[in-house]
Each structure stands twice: as C-alpha cells, then as structure tokens.
Amino acid sequence: MQVTLVSIVIPVYKSAITLEELFAQIRTTLEQRIAFEVIFVDDGSSDNSWEKLVQIKKANPSHVKAIKFNRNYGQHNAIACGFSFAKGEVIVTMDDDLQHPPSEIIKLLDKYEETGAELIYGQYISKQHSTLRNAGSTVLQTGSETGGTSFRLLTKPLAEKVSAHLQHGFLFIDEVVRWYTSQVAFVNVEHHQRRAGKSTYTGTKLVRMYFNILINYSAVPLKIMTWFGLISSVFTFLLGLRFIYNKLVHGSTPGFTAIIVTVLFSTSILMLCMGIVGQYMHKLYRLQNRRPSYSIEQSI
C-alpha cells in the first residue's frame, strides 16, 4: 500500500541534548522519499527540551509540530496526544533518545507497503536497555499476542481507536491495540545505546508502571482473591471438621472450637465475597474514570 504522508510521533522527556540530531536524522532519512511531519510532545520536561523544540519548529515550520504538557502524564498518554495531531495515513512512534535509529523507519514503511498490516512492530535484533527493563519487558510480553516495542507503525484509523481510551486515565498502547486488530506484522530493526544521559525509567517507575498495567488491563489480582477465598473456605471447613472431631473425641476448652470455626470460616467467606464484588467494581471503575489524561499548556 502506497503512503503519501507519514507522521512521526515522539514523546519527549528531558532529552534536550538529542532532539536536534534526532530531527536531522529523520529529515535526512525521509525527505527524498516521502512527505513527513514530526510531532514532538513534551511530557513535562524539567530541562530545556521545550526551548530546543521551539528552535526546531522555527527552522522547520512545515515539518514540525510541538506540544507542551503542563506536567508529566506518561509516555503513552503523550503518544496518544500526538495521534490527535497527526495527519498522515500511517503514524510511526519512536523514542527521543536515538536508541531507535531514524534510518530504520524505512523498514517499517517497506513492511507496511508489502503487507498492509494495521500494526507493525520493530523487533530489536539486540536490545540495549538495562537488565531490569529487559526483564520487565519479558514479563509484560508473556502471553501477549503482539509482543510489542515502542518503535511501531500504526494506521491512522487504528491510532484513533487507541486515543478513544484516554478516558480511562491509564493508557498502555500495546494492550489496547490488541483489542482492535489482528493484522500485526514484525520487522527486525537495530536498537542503539543511549547517546547521552540515563533512562528516566527508574526501578521504582518501572514497578509502578507494571503494577498499573496489571490493575488497569487485567482482573488477575481480583481473580487471585476469589480463588484464595474459595480455597480458604474449603481448607477452613476441613479444619473446622478437625476441631469438631477433637471436641467430640478428646474434649477442649469450652467455646474454643466454636470461636475458631466461626472466625476462620467467616473470614474466608468474606474474602470470597470481596473477590466477587471486586470483579464488578473493577468493571465499573474502568467505565466511570473520566479524569483528564493530559493538559496541553502550549502547542506550536
């Protein structure tokens, strides 16, 4: 399928040092092949990233859009914001630290023209992330139909469907796209070391993100509660029978058996009920959460 305009969406966070080179490489890669636009979304950076974006915009007014958030809302929300500004038939998302070489965009475009897939992931030949982040990615991709990296190509209609889920507060793009398409393709791409600085994904942030994904996109914790309550009910019922047996055969302190059986059995039943009610609360929470996913302070 032939593409006439490609939109490149890049979430920006404390990456002033790489932005000029990043755009220069994108322009060198694409300007002789296809019309393009680059949409930078500054996700509440505390360095001079916004000033760099203003300079890039002034020098390349026809190729650059820049959006500034009033605070940090997260990478995936920033990407979804970029989707709403994109005009291209296809949208490429990539990081701001040059770990995704802009020259590899061509591979995504070639794969799209070859297959027409709605979603194309760049699979890293060799990951250059930290051990902790690589381990976290492995956990997230376990059981996933798509796998997924942040270097991806989506069609505009698919990106619009993803953006519709901003009303749920926490957005994880690689989970949402699974709901809307089975047309997924992969292409091997290079993944480079960071040119400067350190990743902003600290261990604490990674754990928080994985926990949010688990809570927002699965009912696993609630299912664990339900099964634990059910198993506890069976276990305490059998334990109660043992106490009753001891009472009848060996005797025990008056009232002890009744208290133990009542407390243990009622507690397990309460846990079972909490798990069942929690299943409904989980669904209602996802429907009722309407807080803003981001707030734009300025766009140019």
- Are 162 and 234 in a shared domain? no
- What pLDDT is stored for residue 188 in this prediction? 92
- Are 179 and 110 in a shared domain? yes
- What pLDDT is stored for residue 60 in this prediction? 94
Of 217, 236, 264, the last residue of a domain is: 217
Distances in whole angstroms, Cα of residue 127 to Cα of each of 114, 141, 227, 248: 26, 15, 37, 66
- What pLDDT is stored for residue 242 in this prediction? 76
Tokens 């190509």, residue?
A: 153
**Residue 279 falls inside a structural domain:** yes
**Residue 233 falls inside a structural domain:** yes
**Residue 105 falls inside a structural domain:** yes
Handedness of CA 271, 272, 276, 279 (dihedral sign): positive
- What pLDDT is stored for residue 232 in this prediction? 73
Q: How far apart are CA 292 and CA 297, in angstroms?
A: 13
**Residue 294 falls inside a structural domain:** no
- Are 124 and 185 in a shared domain? yes
- Are 59 and 122 in a shared domain? yes
Q: Are 7 and 39 in contact (CB under 8 A)?
A: yes
- Are 260 and 178 in a shared domain? no
- Are 9 and 106 in a shared domain? yes
**Residue 138 falls inside a structural domain:** yes
- Are 53 and 23 in a shared domain? yes
pLDDT averaged per 10 residues, the chain (length 300): 90 92 95 94 92 95 95 90 94 92 94 93 73 53 58 94 73 84 91 66 65 66 74 75 74 63 72 71 66 84
Enter the tokens of residue 20. Answer: 């000029």
**Residue 293 falls inside a structural domain:** no
**Residue 51 falls inside a structural domain:** yes
- Are 78 and 20 in a shared domain? yes
Of 187, 217, 247, the last residue of a domain is: 217
**CATH number, domain containing residue 197:** 3.90.550.10
Of 161, 185, 217, the last residue of a domain is: 217
- What pLDDT is stored for residue 187 in this prediction? 93
- Are 90 and 18 in a shared domain? yes
Closest Cα to residue 95, out of 25, 31, 6, 186?
25
- Are 11 and 147 in a shared domain? yes
Domain that includes residue 278, residue range: 220-288
- What pLDDT is stored for residue 61 in this prediction? 94
Is the model's pTM score more than 0.85? no
Domain total of the chain: 2
- What pLDDT is stored for residue 178 in this prediction? 83
- Are 282 and 179 in a shared domain? no
**Residue 104 falls inside a structural domain:** yes
